[in-house]
Amino acid sequence: SFQPSPNITRLKESATLAVAAKARALKAQGIPVIDLGAGEPDFDTPPFIRQAAAKAMEAGATRYTNTEGILPLREAIAADANRIQVQGAPVTASEVVVSNGSKQSLYNACVCCFGPGDDVLIPIPSWTSYFEMVELSRANAVPVLGDPANSLKVTAAMLAAAGTPRTKGVMINSPSNPTGAVYSRTELADILALAAERGWWVIADEIYLRIDYHGDAVSALEVATSRDNLIVINGVAKAYAMTGWRIGWSIAPVAVSKAMTNFQGHTTSNAAAVSQHAALAALAEREQADAAVSEMVAAFRRRRDAVVQALSAFPTVQYVQPAGAFYIYVNVDGFRGAADPGAAFAAAVLEEYQVAIVPGSAFGTPNWIRASYATTDAIAVEGVTRIATCLTAAA
Ligand code: PLP
């Protein structure tokens, strides 16, 4: 029989699976479920990107590429990063490694920088996989709870208090999944300054950077004291509605980039050639790409406004004001006296109101739930209205 290796015994099962399976079962019975569980844009990849991929495929982009990605894409990623005033010298292609999604870049970074005996600070609530990636790197994930009075964000002072001589790094995600919170320029600069002072790695996951409603989101590349200890992660999945193409990347010091390339070379090799060409179009065809991104972000923002407006009818319902990404994080503390209020709420709102959401335990905070509004305006509004109804009925 299968005895799992110690490599994976610390891996937890995805907390989203139970709800997703139940939602599927209800749908199979013909019950219409409002699905606010999704973590991806509901839009199709813009046509000019799909056409560029088809053209590249016909032109022979069907073979292995360099592990670190095709040079034109890495140059386009560097040029894209340099659209802002980055700290220090402009970003070059030698700092860029292309992977099969930002998830892989995050994992490559963890494996290459962290190891046994290291602690890695993870501000919570946080995207599920950070914990698992740090643990798979045989380091310890140390959660640091954000301040409910400040959109559940952490401050440099909170991280400083949580740090020990074993601390080797910190994961930062702004705009945040699951809260939609955005770190201000000073909040982020203070965290980066602390990390530089303590010699910590900063892994900055900027996958939602362009989905920013108030123009507040800043890249760590812009506000870092130094780029020597900084690994910035991004990709095409969320901003360009390209989740299925699986293209992400890292921008890191050359030595780190070389180590990540070596590691990736022994695990997956290069990202799909045709997808790299699709990503190249997304980054290089700026005018078309910016128009597409603006249109999608405007739709997310309109839904954000509609969802917040719908919740204003329920003054007792508390949530984090979403400033970016496409999620709303709602407090369900005390729901029906359950030990895990988020899980109890997820089960109840699905069974009684046919709404699928993700319990906050998936993000390290069981008193909350995450709803995604990457769906039509009407479905998003109906979904959050049912969530608030279920919550206030229980109060
Ligand atoms: N980082 C965060 C915060 C995410 O929410 C996601 C996807 O849900 C990812 C990374 C992974 O994105 P990709 O599709 O580029 O691997």
Query: Tens of pLDDT along 148-160?
Result: 999 999 999 999 9
* C-beta of 173 in contact with ligand 1 (< 6 A): yes
Residue 205 CA: nearest ligand 1 atom is 1
Give the 3-state DSSP-derived string for 62-113, with helices as H, strands as E and coil as C: CCCCCCCCCHHHHHHHHHHHCCCCCCCCCCCHHHEEEECCHHHHHHHHHHHH
Give, using CA atoms, the residue closest to atom 5 of ligand 1: 177
Question: Stretch 48-75: mean pLDDT, rounded?
Answer: 98
* C-beta of 99 in contact with ligand 1 (< 6 A): no
How close is the Cα of 97 to the center of ligand 1, in Å? 16
How close is the Cα of 204 to the center of ligand 1, in Å? 12
CA distance linking residue 15 with residue 246, whole number of Å: 23
How close is the Cα of 234 to the center of ligand 1, in Å? 9
* C-beta of 235 in contact with ligand 1 (< 6 A): yes
Most ligand 1 atoms within 8 A of CB, residue of 207, 240, 243, 249 to mutate: 207
Task: Let me know: does 374 contact 300? Beta carbons within 8 Å.
Answer: yes
More confident residue, 15 or 262: 262
How close is the Cα of 172 to the center of ligand 1, in Å? 13
CA distance linking residue 260 with residue 253, whole number of Å: 11
Most ligand 1 atoms within 8 A of CB, residue of 77, 102, 122 to mutate: 102
Pairing of strands 248-251, 201-205: unpaired
- 11 — pLDDT class (breaks 50, 70, 90): confident
Tens-digit pLDDT profile for residues 277-324? 999 999 999 999 999 999 999 999 999 999 999 999 999 999 999 999
Task: Let me know: does 157 contact 301? Beta carbons within 8 Å.
Answer: no
DSSP lists the bridge partners of residue 329 as 370
Give, using CA atoms, the residue closest to atom 11 of ligand 1: 103
Q: What is the pLDDT of residue 16?
A: 66
Is 266 strand, coil or helix? helix
How close is the Cα of 75 to the center of ligand 1, in Å? 22
Q: What is the pLDDT of residue 121?
A: 98
For residue 18, which amino acid is it? A
CATH class of 62-284: alpha beta
How close is the Cα of 103 to the center of ligand 1, in Å? 6
Q: What is the pLDDT of residue 24?
A: 85
Residue 106 CA: nearest ligand 1 atom is 10
CA distance linking residue 129 with residue 134, whole number of Å: 8
How close is the Cα of 298 to the center of ligand 1, in Å? 21
pLDDT above 80: residue 389: yes
* C-beta of 243 in contact with ligand 1 (< 6 A): yes
pLDDT above 80: residue 395: no
Tokens at residue 55, please? 């053209």
Cβ neighbors of 276 (< 8 A, separation 6 or more) are 61, 65, 69, 70, 73, 98, 247, 270
CA distance linking residue 153 with residue 167, whole number of Å: 19
CATH class of 16-44+289-394: alpha beta
- 17 — pLDDT class (breaks 50, 70, 90): low
What percent of the chain shows pLDDT beyond 90?
92
> What DSSP line would sit under 26-69, residue for residue?
HHHTT---EE----S-SSPPPHHHHHHHHHHHHTT--S---TT-
Cβ neighbors of 98 (< 8 A, separation 6 or more) are 68, 69, 70, 73, 74, 77, 247, 248, 249, 270, 271, 276, 279
Question: Stretch 143-170: mean pLDDT, rounded?
Answer: 98
Q: What is the residue extent of each domain of the chain?
A: 16-44+289-394, 62-284
* C-beta of 206 in contact with ligand 1 (< 6 A): no
* C-beta of 127 in contact with ligand 1 (< 6 A): yes
Residue 246 CA: nearest ligand 1 atom is 14
Q: What is the pLDDT of residue 170?
A: 98
Question: Stretch 35-64: mean pLDDT, rounded?
Answer: 95
Give the 3-state DSSP-derived string for 179-191, with helices as H, strands as E and coil as C: CCCCCCHHHHHHH
Q: What is the pLDDT of residue 39?
A: 83
Most ligand 1 atoms within 8 A of CB, residue of 238, 250, 268 to mutate: 238
- 15 — pLDDT class (breaks 50, 70, 90): low
Q: What is the pLDDT of residue 27?
A: 87
How close is the Cα of 345 to the center of ligand 1, in Å? 25
Question: Stretch 130-159: mean pLDDT, rounded?
Answer: 97
Question: Stretch 388-393: mean pLDDT, rounded?
Answer: 96
Beta strands in the chain (DSSP E): 34-35, 96-99, 119-124, 140-145, 167-173, 201-205, 230-235, 248-251, 327-331, 355-356, 358-359, 368-372
For residue 272, which amino acid is it? A
Mean residue pLDDT across the chain:
96
Tokens at residue 178, please? 């699951």
CA distance linking residue 275 with residue 281, whole number of Å: 10
How close is the Cα of 127 to the center of ligand 1, in Å? 8
- 229 — pLDDT class (breaks 50, 70, 90): very high
- Closest-CA residue to 113 (of 198, 200, 205, 191): 200
* C-beta of 177 in contact with ligand 1 (< 6 A): yes
Tens-digit pLDDT profile for residues 97-120? 999 999 999 999 999 999 999 999
Give, using CA atoms, the residue closest to atom 8 of ligand 1: 39
CA distance linking residue 384 with residue 389, whole number of Å: 8
Neighbours of 2 (CB within 10 A): 4
